[in-house]
Amino acid sequence: MENRIVSKFNYEFALLIIIGGLAVSFFAQTFTYPGTIAGLFPRIVSTIVILMVLFLLVAKFRSKSAASESDEELLDDEEVGTWGKSVSKHALPVMNWKISVLLMLGYFVLIYLIGFGIGTFLYAVAIPLLLQYKNKLVAVVFALVTAVALIVLFGTLFYVPLPQGLIFELLFGG
Amino acid sequence: MDMWWQGFQLAVGGNNLLFLLIGTVVGLIIGALPGLGPLFAVALMMPLTYGMPPATAIIMLAAVHAACAYGDSLASILVNVPGGVGSVASCWDGFPLAKKGKAAPALGISAGGSLFGGLVGWGSLVMISPVLMNVALKMGPAEYFMLAILALSLLSLSSQGKAIQGLILGGFGMLLAFVGSAPITAFQRMTFGVSYLEDGFPLVPVAVGIFALSQAMVLAEKGGMLAEVRDMVGSVWEGVTSIFKMPYTLIRGSIVGILLGIMPALGLSSANVVAYMTERRASKEPDTFGKGNPAGLLAPEVAKSACIVGDLIPTFTLGIPGSSTTALFLAAMVLHGIQPGAAFFQSGPLPYAIFVGILLAQFAFFILGLLFAKYFAKVVLVPTSILVPIITVLSFVGAFAIRNSILDILLTIVFGVIGFLLTKSKWPAATFVLGFVLADMAESNFHRAMLITGGSFIGLVSSPISIFLAFGIAALLAWPLVGSLRSRSRRQAAA
C-alpha cells in the first residue's frame, strides 16, 4: 500500500458552516431592525443562502453515508504530475495552512508593534527558511531587499505612510 | 475627434506610458505563474494605484489585466496548467502542440490571437459604449434594479458547473455588502456593535484576501517550484502569421468573446470554453481537437482577449461589472473618484485617454510577449518559498494602503482563510465578488423605485427596458429547469 498524504480537514464542510452560521446570525438580526427597508433584502438573501447551505449539507451527509471511503483528501494526480520537482505523491505538505495563517498573524503583530520595515524583514527571512529554501544568505538578502524596496516604493513613490510600530511611536513619539 | 486627440495626449503624457509598461510586465509575470490569473493580478495591483492620477491608475490596471490574460496562456501551453480560469481551453490544444515540439509557434498563435481579439474587443468598446450610454440615460432606479437582478441570475451560469455553490457565494457576498449603513434610512446593520464595521466591509482588503493572500497559503502548502518548463523550438513569428490562415476562427472567437464580455457576470471563464466548443463543432475535422489543432488554441485566445475588453463595456457604461475582475475595476474607478455611466463619458478627455491606454496595452503585451515569452515563462522556476512572502507582503501593504487602517490587514487575513477554503473546495470564488458589488445596486435602486412608485411593484416593470430585462431574468431562471427537463426526457427516450 502506498504511503499517501491524508488531510482529514473537510474544507467544504468548514465553508458551509461559516457561511451558514453568518447567514443565520444576519437573519436573526433583521428582526431587530425598525421598519421594513433595512431588513427586507438581508432577510430575503439570508433565507436563500440558509436554504441552499442546508441543501448542500444534506446532500453531503447522504453521499457520505452512501460511500464506504473516509473523508481523506489526496493530492490530485494532475497537480502532482505537473507541479514542482520537489513535491512528490508521498511528500507531506511543506507548510500546513494553519501554520501559514499563524505566521501571517505573527507578521501582523510585528507590523503593529515594531513597524512595517522590520516586521517585513523578519517575516521575509522566516518564510523561505521554514519552506526549506537552502541558501540562507540569499534568503536574508532577499528579505532585506524586499523590505527596503517596499518602504521606498510605498513611502516615496506612492506616498503611503507605512506603520511605524507602537513601540517606536511610544519611544520616539509621533 | 478633438476629444480623442486630447485623450491621446493625456494617455501618452506624464508617467502613463511608464506605468503601462510596468503593468504589462507585472501582468506577464503573474500570468506566467500557473493558477494565478487576472483576478489575482488586478486585486494585488489595485491598491498600488491609490496615489496615481485616475487615468494612470485605470490604464495600468487595464495593462495588468490584458497582459495577465495573455500571460496565462504561457502556463497553459508550456506546462498544461491553466494560468487562470480564462486559459483552461488553451491547455487542450496548446499543450499537445508544445509536446509535438511546436511550443514557439503555439506561443505565436496565442500572441497573435490575443492581439486580434483585443483589437476587436477595443473596437466594440468604442462603438458600442455610446449606444449603450444612450440606453443608460433612459434607465432609472427600476431599470437598474432589474439589471442588477439579471446580473445576479447569471451567477449560476458563471459558476463553471457548480451552480448552487456559485449562488451561495453570491448570496454570501451580498450579505457582507449589507453590513454597515442601510440605504435610505442609514440604519446600522449587522455591525454587532463594532465601530470598524460601520462603513461596511471595504472591497479591496476583502478581494486581496480572497484572491491573493489565499494563494500564498496554497503555494506554501505545495512548496518547491511551480513547474518545469519545456524547451522552446521553432519560430514564434511563424505562429503569429499562421492565424491569418484561419479567418473564420478569428471571426467566431471574436463574436463569442464580445457577446460574453457584454453580458454582466459572464466573463473569461465562459468565453474561452464556449469559443473552443464552438470552433470544434464548426470544424470539418473535430477529431483533431485535443491533439494539437492550431484552431483549437486560436479560438479561445481570441475570445479571451475580446472578452477582457468587452467586459469593460457594461462596466463603464452601466456600472455593472462584466466580470469579477472588472468588479475590481469598478472599485478602482470609485476609489479614484470616477463614477461609471453618463458621468464618466461626460468627464472630458478622461474616457478617451483610458480607451487609448487600453489600445496601447494590447500592443504592449503583444510586443513584450513576442520578444520575451520564453523568459517570462521561466518565472515558474522561482521557488514558492520566495513567492509566498512576496505575495503576502504585497497583500498586506495593499490592504493597509486603502484606508491606512491596520485592521484592514487583519480583515485580509480572515478573507485569505476563506479564499483558501474556497480554493481547496474548488468553489467559484469570483461569484462572491459579483454578489458583493451588485448588492448595493440591487437594494438601493429597489428602494428608490419603491419610493417613486409609492410602494407599487408594478412600477418595476412599467418601462420597455425593464420589461425586456424581466423577460431575460425569467428566461435565465427557467434555463436550468428546461435543461434538466430536456435531459430527463432524452434519458427516458433512450431507456
Q: With an 8 Å Cβ cutoff, are A158 and B406 in contact?
A: no
* Nearest CA-CA partner of B268 in B31, B471, B24: B31
Q: For B129-184, how does the pLDDT look when each residue is reduced to its tens digit (9 = 90+)?
A: 888 888 877 888 888 888 888 888 777 666 656 778 888 999 999 999 999 988 87
Q: Which residues of A touch B171 (CB under 8 A)?
A: 23, 45-46, 48-49, 52
Beta-strand runs (E) in B182-229: 188-189
Q: Give the C-alpha separation, B200 to B190, whole Å.
A: 9
Q: Which residues of B touch A55 (CB under 8 A)?
A: 164
Mutate to test the interface with A, among B396, B412, B432, B438 (most CBs of A within 10 A): B396
CB B374 within 8 A of CB B232: yes
What residues have CB less than 8 Å from B216, skipping those under 6 apart? A100, B387, B388, B391, B392, B395, B416
Q: Give the C-alpha separation, B187 to B305, whole Å.
A: 43
If you average pLDDT over residues B317-335, what whole number do you get? 84
Q: Which residues are registered as beta bridge partners of B188?
A: B181
What residues have CB less than 8 Å from B317, skipping those under 6 apart? B129, B132, B133, B136, B340, B341, B345
Q: Give the C-alpha separation, B161 to B186, whole Å.
A: 38
Q: Among A169-173, B73-77, B217-221, name the one with the lowest average pLDDT.
A: A169-173
Question: Which among A33, A49, A132 has the least Cβ separation from residue B168?
Answer: A49
Length of chain B: 495
Q: Give the C-alpha separation, A127 to B385, whole Å.
A: 6
- Tell me whether B130 touches chain A (CB under 8 Å): no
Residue where the block lists cell 481523506:
A72
Question: Which among A26, A97, A133 has the least Cβ separation from residue B385?
Answer: A133
Q: Which residues of A touch B224 (CB under 8 A)?
A: 83-87, 94
CB B31 within 8 A of CB B37: yes
Q: Give the C-alpha separation, B82 to B273, whole Å.
A: 12
CB B207 within 8 A of CB B328: yes
Q: With an 8 Å Cβ cutoff, are A94 and B424 in contact?
A: no
Does position A31 have pLDDT exceeding 60, yes or no? yes
Q: With an 8 Å Cβ cutoff, are B167 and A131 in contact?
A: no
- Tell me whether B24 touches chain A (CB under 8 Å): no
Q: With an 8 Å Cβ cutoff, are B397 and A56 in contact?
A: no
Long-range pairs, B486-491, Cβ under 8 A, ≥24: none
Q: With an 8 Å Cβ cutoff, are B401 and A154 in contact?
A: yes
Q: Give the C-alpha separation, B163 to B167, whole Å.
A: 6
Distance of CA B404 to the CA centre of its chain: 27
CB B222 within 8 A of CB A85: no
Q: Give the C-alpha separation, B189 to B183, whole Å.
A: 10
SS3 B180: strand
If you average pLDDT over residues A119-147, what whole number do you get? 89
Q: At residue B476, what is the residue type?
A: L
SS3 B377: helix
| pLDDT of amino acid A157 | 67
Q: Is A171 exposed, middle or buried (0-12, 13-18, 19+ CB in 10 A)?
A: exposed
- Written as one string, the DSSP assignment of B122-133 is HHHHHHHHHHHH
CB B147 within 8 A of CB B139: yes
C-alpha cell at B16: 502613463
Per-chain mean pLDDT for chain A: 77
- Written as one string, the DSSP assignment of B13-52 is STTHHHHHHHHHHHHHHHHHSTT--HHHHHHHHGGGGTTS
Q: For B363-418, how does the pLDDT look when each residue is reduced to its tens digit (9 = 90+)?
A: 999 999 888 877 776 776 778 888 889 889 988 988 887 788 899 999 999 999 99
CB neighbours (10 Å) of residue B346?
A: 11
Q: With an 8 Å Cβ cutoff, are A45 and B174 in contact?
A: yes
Does position A137 have pLDDT exceeding 50, yes or no? yes
C-alpha cell at A51: 436554504
Q: At residue B89, what is the residue type?
A: A
Q: Which residues of A touch B212 (CB under 8 A)?
A: none
If you average pLDDT over residues B458-478, what whole number do you get? 83
Q: Nearest CA to CA, how far is A100 from chain B (Å)?
A: 6
C-alpha cell at B238: 511563424
Does position B232 have pLDDT exceeding 70, yes or no? no
Q: Which residues of A touch B178 (CB under 8 A)?
A: 26, 41-42, 45
The H or E element spanning position B181 is: strand B180-181
Mutate to test the interface with B, among A88, A104, A134, A164 (most CBs of B within 10 A): A104
Question: Which among B224, B388, B392 has the least Cβ separation from residue A85?
Answer: B224
pLDDT classification of B254: cutoffs 50, 70, 90? very high
Beta-strand runs (E) in chain A: none
Distance of CA A21 to the CA centre of its chain: 19
- Burial B387-401, CB ≥16 within 10 A → b, else e: bbbbbbbbbbbbbbb
Q: Give the C-alpha separation, B213 to A16, whole Å.
A: 21
SS3 B242: helix
- ipTM for the assembly: 0.83
Q: pTM of the full predicted structure?
A: 0.78
Q: With an 8 Å Cβ cutoff, are B396 and A34 in contact?
A: no
Strand-strand pairing, B180-181 and B188-189: antiparallel
Q: Which residues of A touch B225 (CB under 8 A)?
A: 84-86
C-alpha cell at B385: 518559498
Q: Where are the alpha helices (DSSP H) in B33-180?
A: 38-45, 54-79, 88-99, 103-137, 141-153, 163-178
Dihedral sign from CA coordinates of B417, B421, B423, B429: negative
Q: Which residues of B touch A76 (CB under 8 A)?
A: none
pLDDT classification of A69: cutoffs 50, 70, 90? very low
Interface A-B: count of C-beta contacts within 8 A: 206
3-state secondary structure A79-98: HHHHCCCCCCCCCCCCCCHH
Between B237 and A91, the more confident residue is B237
Q: What spatial distance separates the first Cα and last Cα of chain B, rounded to whole Å?
A: 65
